Structure 1
Amino acid sequence: MSCLAPGVQAQPYNADTDENLFIMGGPFTTGFFGDTFLFWQDHYESNLFAGIGYQRFFYQYESFKLGVEAGLGLRLGTPSSAEIWGGAVARITEFTFGDLTITPALSFGLSLVTDTIGIEAQRAEALGHDVPVLFYLSPEIAISNAAQPQWEAFGRIQHRSGGFGTIAEIDGSNAAVIGLRYKF
């Protein structure tokens, strides 16, 4: 017996879904953007990032998707602060190995924080002024399984910077995060 109202059918998961919600978290690093890819090195701060986000895709061509991303995060340390970000996101869902799908993605936009922490605070002090608004860049690799394709685990870099001096001469902060995404 179905718990759904008469005439309402449960919809099967659609691999071409265009929305998702995600949670993520991980430590900030003391290095620069490129150093963060070397996750096995001991270059982590005691400060942590935790965030939630939303993505909506509005364009698809074969395995390429283009959309928007927005999120809200907490930067936990001394002092703690909040972050809000938004921008564009691109994904390629072409790499399948048996039941596993590997999905690289890249998000780019703007980030606003209530305060800088850790190495970013030191870099802002050396710069001589606060940097509440910086560019946001987030390369990502996600993995999903054919048995539950609506769920993805991912690793990404949560990066804030001045964009080669466009906003400011600063490589703000970099967090190496892992997360979980639900696509609908």
Structure 2
Amino acid sequence: MRLSLTAALLGMLLFAGAAYAQTQELPNADGHVYSGSVAVFGGSYTTGDFGQSFNPAAVPYEDNYVLGIGVRQQEPVPEDGIVVGWEVGGAVRAGESTSAEVWSGPYLGHDGIELGDAVKLSPSLTFGLSAVTGSMGTEQRRALSDGGSPELLFYLSPEIALSSSQDSDTEVFWRLHHRSGAWGTLGGGSANATTAGLRQHF
């Protein structure tokens, strides 16, 4: 347990360092300038499936929790507002046991849909791979039922962010933190955590 926690904390520090590096605009070989963001979030794992976990007020929860950091890098926002980028993240998972998680993958989103004169809504979806140092709770029980390992699974994270129309560099968001084997395609087991967080753009 101590090794897992140490690895998780070290990973989070590394991602925080990467987030600091994102405060500088990073041009690629073609001269494009990329922007970045860093987010912190936390929440509880549910006992429901992916669809049930979309209703955070009704889905049952278990005594397992996640605290994570996510770093994003994206291309300049085009006129249509469609954002394409890459996300890496790390998290500590605690409760029945303690483990670490890392994930990485591309994401697709929108720079912001105006809701009146004061609020912008920015949806996004991240898809990639997630690796953990140990399983717990519903994830562990589903892995045993599936007959596969939960150590490496697909990662899928739909998100809805809200920000001020006057200052959209800071967002609050709700995010479904999901990992699964996609019906046995990769490993076994699945986990869903409903989370809330804060993101700062640079």
TM bucket by the smaller chain? 0.7 to 0.9
SS of 1:33 mapped into structure 2: coil
CA distance in 2, matches of 1:116, 1:123: 10
Distance 2:75 2:97 in 1: 38
- 1:183–1:17 CA distance, 2 compared to 1 (3 A): farther
Letter in 2 for 1:74: V
Write out per-residue CA displacement over residues 75-121 of structure 1, whole angstroms, 9 at most, x where no aligned residue.
11121110000000111124102121000000000000000111001
**Cα drift, residue 59 of structure 1:** 5.8
Is the helix fraction higher in 1 or 2? 2
Match of 1:40 in 2: 57
Q: Indicate which of 138, 141, 157 corresponds to 1:138.
A: 157
AA matched with 2:51: G
Preserved CA contact (<8 Å) 2:105 2:126:
yes
The 4+ residue runs of structure 1 with deviation greater than 6 A are: none
- Return the index of the structure with the highest Cα Rg: 1
- Structure 1: gaps (5+ residues): 1-15
Q: 1:126 aligns with which of 145, 152, 164?
A: 145
Q: Which of 52, 58, 63 is residue 69 of structure 2 equivalent to? A: 52
Corresponding residue number in structure 2 for 1:159: 178
Identity %: 37
- Does residue 117 of the first structure (1) align with residue 136 of the second (2)? yes
Q: Which amino acid aligns with 2:42?
A: G
Structure 2 segments unaligned to the other structure (5+ residues): 1-32
| Secondary structure of the structure 1 residue equivalent to 2:51 | helix
Per mean C-alpha deviation after superposition, the further-off stretch among 147-156 and 133-142 is: 147-156
User: Deviations 1:41-60 (Å, cap 9, x if unpaired)?
Assistant: 15011100110010001264
SS in 1 for 2:138: helix
2-side partners of 1:17 and 1:146: how far apart?
22
Number of residues paired by the alignment? Answer: 168
Contact 1:91–1:103 (CA under 8 A) maintained in structure 2: yes
How much is the aligned-residue C-alpha RMSD, in angstroms? Answer: 1.7
Considering fraction of residues, name the structure with more strand: 1
Q: CA deviation at 1:147?
A: 3.6
Distance 1:56 1:161 in 2: 24
Letter in 2 for 1:66: V
Aligned partner of 1:10 in structure 2 is none
Instruction: Map residues 1-184 of structure 1 onto 2, 5 A cutoff.
Output: 18-58=35-75, 60-61=77-78, 62-97=80-115, 98-168=117-187, 170=189, 172-184=190-202
- Bigger drift between 55-64 and 109-118 goes to 55-64
Q: CA shift at 1:169, angstroms?
A: 5.1
Contact 1:162 1:169 in 2 (8 A): yes
1:119 aligned counterpart, secondary structure: helix
Partners of 1:150 and 1:94 lie apart in 2 by 11
Instruction: Call closer, same or farther: CA 1:122–1:75 in 2, change over 3 Å.
Output: same
How high is the TM-score relative to the length of structure 1?
0.86
In structure 1, the residue corresponding to 2:184 is in which secondary structure?
Answer: coil
Letter in 2 for 1:89: Y
